[in-house]
Structure 1
Amino acid sequence: MLFRDCPPETRTLLGAQLVFNLGFFAVIPFLAGAMRSDYGLGAAAVGLVLGARTFSQQGMFLLGGILADRWGARRSILTGCLVRISGYATLLGASDLPLFLLGAVLTGAGGALFSPALEAQLSHADQPAPPGTKRRSVFVWLAITGEIGAVLGPLLGSALLGWGFDAALTAGIAVFAAVTVLLWWRLPAPPARTDTAPADTADTADTADTAGRRPSVPSRPALGCLRDRRFLAFCALGSVNLLAYNQLYFAIPVELERRGLGQAWLGGLFLLASVLTLSLQLPVAGLARRVGSGPTLSAGFVLLAAAFAVAAGTAVHPGGPTAEAVAPVLITVAVLVLGHMALTPTILSLVPAFLHARDASGQGDVSGRGAYYGLVATCGGIAVLVGNTVLGRLVDATDRFQWWAGTPWAPLVLLALLSAVAIPRMLPDRRPPGISASPSIEHHDEKAS
C-alpha cells in the first residue's frame, strides 16, 4: 500500500518503529567504547554485556510474542518502551559491571516486548491489493522506516558524544519517553472482551485500523506455534536470512581485516547498505509483488548465496592483496542487501497465512500472531548465535591450518541455496475463504492455483 493510504494507527506504529530505532542506534553502537574508555572495563566484560543484550532481546522474542497475545498489542508495546527506558536509566547510573549487565538485559527485553507486538499488529493492516493498483506490503514500509532510524541514530549519537555518553543516554531516554506518550495517546485501548469470544477473532476479523484492538484469545495454547511443523521448518529456513545479514557485523569486518583493509571501510559499507535499502526497497517490493512469494523467497536466498560465493571466491589469507580487494567486498555487501530486501518483508507478510491455514485444518492448538512473529525472531537469534560461533571457529581454523581462504564462507553459500530450494515448499497450501492476506500471499495463491 501507499504510505498515505495506511490507516492512522498503522502510520503511528511505523513512526514508532522509526523513533525506536533512532533511540536505540543513538546509544548502543557507542556502549562498548564508553565502557572501555570511561569506566575502564575489560574486553571480556564488554563482550559479556553486549552478548547479554543481544540474547535478552532475540532469545525473549517468543516470550514477548506470547505476552502480546495475552496482553494485547497496545499494552505490550507500551510496556516494551517503559522497560527500555528503565534499561537506559540503569545504564545512565551504572559504574560497574553488574549494573551495566542489568541495563543491557533490560534494554534487550524492551525490544523483545515491543517488536513482536508491533509486527503482529501491523500484519492486520497488510491487506491484498485491488487489481491494477500498486499497493505494497506494510512490512516494506516497516523496513524503510526502521532503516531511516538506523541511519539517523548513529548521527545523533555521534553529535551527542561531545557532551559525553551520559548525554546520549539522556537523549535516548527522552526519545523513548516521547514515543511512549505518543503511543499511549494514539493507540486505542482494546475493547472489553469475554472469554467466550470466538477463537479466531484476533486473526480473522476484517480490519483497517486495528492497532491494539484485537489481542488474541488467551485460551489458545501459548506455544501452539511450536507444534506447527510446517511453520517451524519455515522459521528454520527463513532464519538463514538474519544469519546472512548479521555478517555485516561479524564476518565482513573480519574479512576487511584479513584483506588488509582498515576499519574505516566498515562505515562506508554500512552507508552503502543503508543507501541501497532506502533507494531500492520499494522497487524490489514491487518486483516481488509481481512474481509472487515463492519465487521471491527463492530469488532472495539465491542472491545471498551469490554474495557469499563472491566473498569465498575472492577471499585471501591475512596479509594478502589490499586495494584490489575492495571491489569484491562492495559487491558482496550490495548483493547481500538486495537479497535481504527481497526476503524480510516477504517472510513477515507470510506469517498470518500459517495461522489461517492451521485454523482451516481444524487444529485447535494455534497460538496468536504475537507468538508466531516472536518465533520467527527467536529462530533468527538462535541461528545467529550458533552460526557465528561455527563461522568464528572456521575463520580461526582456516588461518591456523592454511585451508582454502574461502572456507568460512562455504557453509553460508550452502545454507542459502538449501533455503532457496526448500522454503517455497514450506508455504501454506491453502487459505480459508474470506480471509484477507498480504499482497505477497495473495499473489502466491493465484500462482499456485
Structure 2
Amino acid sequence: MTAGRTGLRGDAPGLTAYIRLLTGTQFAFNIGFYAVLPYLAAHLGDGLGMAGWLVGLVLGLRTFSQQGLFVVGGALTDRYGPRPVVLAGCVLRIAGFCWLAQAGSTATVIGAVLLIGFAAALFSPAVESETARAAVAHERATGAPRARVLAVFSAAGQAGAFLGPLLGTLLLLLGGGFRAACLAGAVVFVGVLAGHARLMPRRPRTVPEPGGRAVFCREVFANRPFLLLCLAYSTYLVSYNQLYLALPAEVERATGSQNALGVLFALSSLLVVAAQLPLTRWSAHRIAPRTALVAGLAVVAAGFAAVPLVPGGPAGLLPGATLVVLLTLGQMLLVPAARGLVPDLVEDHRLGLATGALSSVSGLAVLLGSAASGTLLDAPGPVLWTVLAAVPLAGAGLALALPGRTPVRPEAGI
C-alpha cells in the first residue's frame, strides 16, 4: 500500500474477498437501517403523540432488543456459523420494517421495534465477530494492524449511514412519509438477504459446549479485563444513542423543527468516510488500543460539555454540529480500538459470544440510560449536557484499568 492513499478504496485492495463481503454487508445494512431510525423519534412524538419519556423508553427498548440480545446472536454464530444467523436476521428485519410501517398504537410500535432490534441482534454479531476474526488473520498474514481492517469496516458502515438518511429524507420530501421510509428499508434488506444467500460461505456446525449460562458468566463476569471493556464501551453506546434522543431535541429547540437533522447525520457519516482510515492508520501505529479508547471517550465527553458553551451560530445549529463532530471523532478513535481488543481478551472459539456480550452489556446500559436521559430533556441545558458528559468520562476512567498493549511500529512509507 503506498503512502497518500487514505480513502476507503486506497485500503481495500489488500483485503481478502471475504473481508470485502463483510464490509459490503455493513454498508448495505446501514443504508436500510438509517433510512428509518433518524426519523423514528419524530414519528413517535409528533405522529403518534407519545410523551417524551415514552419515546425515550421505546428507543431504549429498540437498542436493548438489539444490543442487549447480541449475546444470543453471538452464541448462535459460534454454534451454527455466521451464514444461517445472518439470513435469519435479514428475514426478521424485513418483517419488522413492514410491521413498523403499519403500526399505529404503542403496543404495535413496541412489537415492531423489538422485532427490528432482535433481527440486528442476530445479524450484527455474526458479521462483526467474523470481521474481527478475519482482521486478526489478516494481521498475522500481512503484519498490517487489525485496526485497519476494522476501520475499513467502520467506514463502509458510515458510508451506508450517510446514504440511509438521505434516502429517508428524499422519501419524506416526496410525501411518502415514515411508512415509505420503512418500506424502503425493507427493500434494502431483501437485497442483502438475496446477496448473502448466494455469496456467504457455509461453515460446519460445532459441538455445543455444556453449561451455556456458566460459559457466559465465565467469559463476561469472571473475565475482569473483558468486563471492564464492556463497561467502558457501554458508556460510549449510551452517549451515541443521544444522537437519536438529545440531538433531535437540541435541533428542534434551536431551529423550531427537525428538518436539519438529516444534515447533521450526513455530517457525521461524511466525517467518518473521509477521516476514519487516516485516523486509524495513525493511531494503530503510534498509540496503544487502550490509549485510543480512553482518548475517544474523552473527546465524546468534550462534545456534550461544549453544547451549552458554543454560541448558536448560523441557523442555530453550531452547538448541535459541534456535538456531532466531537462525538464522531471520539467514535473513530475508540470503536476500532475496542473491537480490536476483544480477540486479545477471550478465546477464539468464543469470539462470537464475546462480541455479543460486549453489545449486550452495552444494550442494558442504553435501556436504563435512555429512559433517564429522556426524562432529563426538560431539565435546564447545563444540567442535561453536564450529566451526559459525565457518562463517557466515567467510561474513560474504567478504560484506564485495561491492560495495555505495545503499538505496532510504523511501516516504511506510511
The interval holding the TM-score normalised by the smaller chain is: 0.7 to 0.9
Residues 1:44 and 1:334: Cα distance change in structure 2 (over 3 Å): closer
Range with bigger deviation, 266-275 or 88-97: 88-97
| 2:321 aligned partner | 330
Instruction: Provide structure 2 residue ranges, at least 5 long, that are not aligned to the other structure.
Output: 2-10
Give the letter aligned to residue 73 of structure 1. P
Q: What does the per-residue CA deviation read over 1:220-279, in whole Å, with 9 as the maximum and x for residues that have no partner?
A: 624432332221122111222222222222223334455566544433322221221111
Per the normalisation by structure 2, the TM-score is 0.81
How far does residue 184 in structure 1 lie from its aligned partner after superposition? 1.9
C-alpha RMSD over aligned residues: 3.4
Distance change >3 Å, CA 322–CA 22, structure 1 → 2: closer
Q: Find the counterpart in structure 1 of residue 155 from structure 2.
A: 144
Q: Name whichever of 116-125 and 17-26 sits farther off.
A: 17-26
Query: Higher helix share goes to which structure?
Result: 2
Instruction: Establish whether residue 376 from structure 1 lines up as the match of residue 367 from structure 2.
Output: no
Classify the secondary structure of the residue corresponding to 1:43: coil
CA distance in 1, matches of 2:89, 2:323: 35
| CA displacement 1:375-430 (0-9 Å, x = unmatched) | 21122223333334444444534x3xxxxx52222234344334334413223x7x
Distance 1:176 1:348 in 2: 25
Higher alpha-carbon deviation: 102-111 or 417-426: 417-426
Pairing partner for 2:166 from 155, 166, 176:
155
1:97 CA drift (Å): 5.0
Give the aligned partner of residue 224 of structure 1.
218
Greater CA deviation, 70-79 or 84-93? Answer: 84-93
Deviates more, 1:48-57 or 1:5-14: 48-57
Greater RCO structure (CA 8 Å; 6+ sep) = 2
- Aligned with residue 50 of structure 2, among 39, 43, 46: 43
Q: Is the 8 A contact 2:60 2:368 kept in 1?
A: no
Q: Deviations over 1:275-295 (max 9, x none)?
A: 211111111101211222122
1:254 has 2:249 as partner: yes
Q: Provide the secondary structure at the position in 1 that maps to 2:393.
A: helix
- AA aligned to 1:9 is Y
Counterpart CA distance in 2 for 1:281 and 1:170 is 31
- One-letter identity of the residue aligned with 1:112: A
Cα distance between partner residues in 1 of 2:132 and 2:152: 12
Does structure 2 conserve the Cα–Cα contact (< 8 Å) formed by 1:312 and 1:410?
no
Equivalences, count: 391
How far apart are residue 53 of structure 1 and its match? 2.9
Which whole-Å CA distance do the structure 2 matches of 1:27 and 1:305 have between them? 27
Following superposition, the deviation at residue 145 of structure 1 comes to 1.2
Native 8 Å contact 1:298 1:421 kept in 2:
yes
**In 2, Cα distance between equivalents of 1:410 and 1:135:** 35
Q: Could you say which residue in structure 2 is the equivalent of 1:87?
A: 96
Partner of 1:171: 184
Asked if structure 1 preserves the Cα contact closer than 8 Å seen for 2:44 and 2:50, the reply is no
Q: Look up the match of 1:433.
A: none
What code does the residue aligned with 1:151 have? F
The residue that corresponds to 1:297 in the other structure is 293
In structure 1, distance between residues paired with 2:45 and 2:373: 26
Give the structure 1 partner of residue 113 of structure 2: 104
The one of 273, 278, 281 equivalent to 1:283 is: 278
- For structure 1, the residue ranges without an aligned partner over 5 or more in a row are 196-215, 316-320, 360-366, 400-404, 430-440
Q: Name 2:203's counterpart in structure 1.
A: 190
**Which residue in the other structure is 1:70 paired with?**
79
Q: Structure 2 counterpart of 1:250, which letter? A: L
Taking a change above 3 Å as real, the CA distance of residues 139 and 414 of structure 1, as seen in their structure-2 partners, is same
Cα drift, residue 154 of structure 1: 2.3
TM-score (norm 1): 0.75
Partner Cα separation in structure 2 for residue 124 and residue 57 of structure 1: 21
Cα separation, 2, equivalents of 1:111 and 1:420 = 27
CA drift at 1:101: 3.4
| Alpha carbons 2:295, 2:396 under 8 Å: kept | yes
Larger radius of gyration: 1
Cα displacement string for residues 139-178 of structure 1 (whole angstroms, at most 9, x for unaligned residues)? 2122111111111122223444537355544433332122
Aligned to 2:7: none
Deviation at 1:444, TM superposition (A): 7.0
- After superposition, residues 333-372 of structure 1 pair within 5 angstroms as 333-356=324-347, 368-372=350-354
Stretch of structure 1 that moved more, 417-426 or 254-263: 254-263
Q: Which piece of structure 1 moves more, 381-390 or 276-285? A: 381-390
The alignment partner of 2:401 has SS state of helix
- Identical residues among aligned pairs (%): 36
AA partner of residue 379 (structure 1): V
